[in-house]
Amino acid sequence: MYSKWRTLLSLTLVVVLLTGCSTIVNNLTQVAAVKQQPKKLTIEEVLSKAEQHLNQNGARYQVSTYFNMHLKGPKALHEEKGEFAGTLKFQGNTDMSNNPRDFYSEGTLYTKSIEGFKEEKDELPTKLYHDGQRVYGSDDGDDWQSMDASNNPIQGVFPHPAFPLHKLDDLSGQLAAWKKSKTIQMTETDQAYVIELKLDENADITAQDTYLSDLKPYIDKMKEEIGEDAKEHRFKSLTQTITIDKNAFAPKEMTYELQAVLPVEADNGVRAKVNFVHRFEATWKGKHPGKIQVPEDVKNHAKEVSNIW
């Protein structure tokens, strides 16, 4: 069905009026002023509250994903052999329910592939269910396909419905590795907490591996196809920003961009590299208090496949 190239979130001030001896007033006023200051939350506390909000309320959000891979080599190579590239884009909406944690996405999938001097484009309506174990997909609402969600080499690049929650979990789970560094920081506005993570090629290897986990199955599959001439992939950069509402702790917006490269070398010594770019944007549209369930008709008639993208 799909071509081969085809988942964040008020403290009350106490006013104390005092009268009496000026010395006592001065001392007590200072204490009261301290009590009036709202407690400064840590990044861990803000993220934890955001996760609690999602767990209690579910979510509905608008998403946009982009994945591109492009083989870049010597000019002579491209003049003779052409270009080799693939692009996946998805624009649509995702609903998330809690207990059980299920997802439903609906939107449009755009694909483009270039092999040599031939270019192919496609635009397909897309519907996806994810029940935590399996993904069900369709481009016409009638014919459905199903696959094991843990066994898809490109599930990290598009358009896994659980991706926003997955990246929120990554952000929370890795804080201990870099909370004393300057790679992650939180700023406050009147209305929100803004958490930003920036990593580059010199980042801690554990952090690199965590954020390459989405691309790794896909890169590994490509290395297998290329053969022994594929070198170890390199992390280039990662930027992730999440805006969390200051009152309700709803994760309002999230942006994510990851870049990596896979060096390759042909038998004749010609060197090239495959550049990967993965972007994701999510804008929360409110709660989703209902339950999402995969229709029984979809479950019963979905065709089992190994790759529905």
Rounded average pLDDT over 15-34:
34
Tell me, what's the pLDDT at 83?
87
Greater pLDDT, 2 or 306: 306
Kindly report, residue by residue over 207-264, the tens digit of the pLDDT.
Answer: 777 667 666 776 777 777 666 677 777 888 888 898 999 999 988 898 888 898 888 8
- Going from N- to C-terminal start, the domains of the chain cover 22-304
Handedness of CA 71, 74, 75, 79 (dihedral sign): negative
Rounded distance between C-alpha atoms, residue 118 and residue 68, angstroms:
17
Of 75 and 20, the one with more pLDDT: 75
| Neighbour order of strands in the sheet with 303-304 | 184-188, 192-200, 234-245, 251-265, 271-286, 59-72, 83-97, 102-116, 118-130, 134-138, 145-148, 303-304
Amino acid 81: pLDDT: 83
Per-residue model confidence (pLDDT) at position 286: 86
CA 91/CA 111 separation, integer angstroms: 12
| pLDDT for the residue 235 | 82
pLDDT per position as a tens digit, 152-204 = 555 555 555 555 555 666 666 566 655 655 678 889 999 999 988 888 888 77
Q: Is the per-residue pLDDT at 18 higher than 60?
A: no
Three-state DSSP at 200 gives strand
Query: Mean pLDDT, the chain, as a whole number?
Result: 75
Residue 134 makes CB contacts below 8 A (sequence gap 6+) with: 146, 147, 148, 149, 294
> What's residue 152's pLDDT?
58
**pLDDT value at position 20?**
31
Confidence (pLDDT) at 245: 93
State the number of CA atoms in the 13 A half-sphere of 96 facing the CB: 29
Q: Is residue 65 predicted with pLDDT exceeding 90? A: no
Choice between 102 and 289, residue whose per-residue pLDDT is larger? 102
pLDDT digits (tens, 9 = 90+) for 104-129: 889 998 999 998 899 999 999 999 88
Amino acid at 223: K
Question: What is the longest distance spanned by two Cα atoms in the chain?
Answer: 92
Instruction: Find the mean pLDDT for residues 9-30.
Output: 28
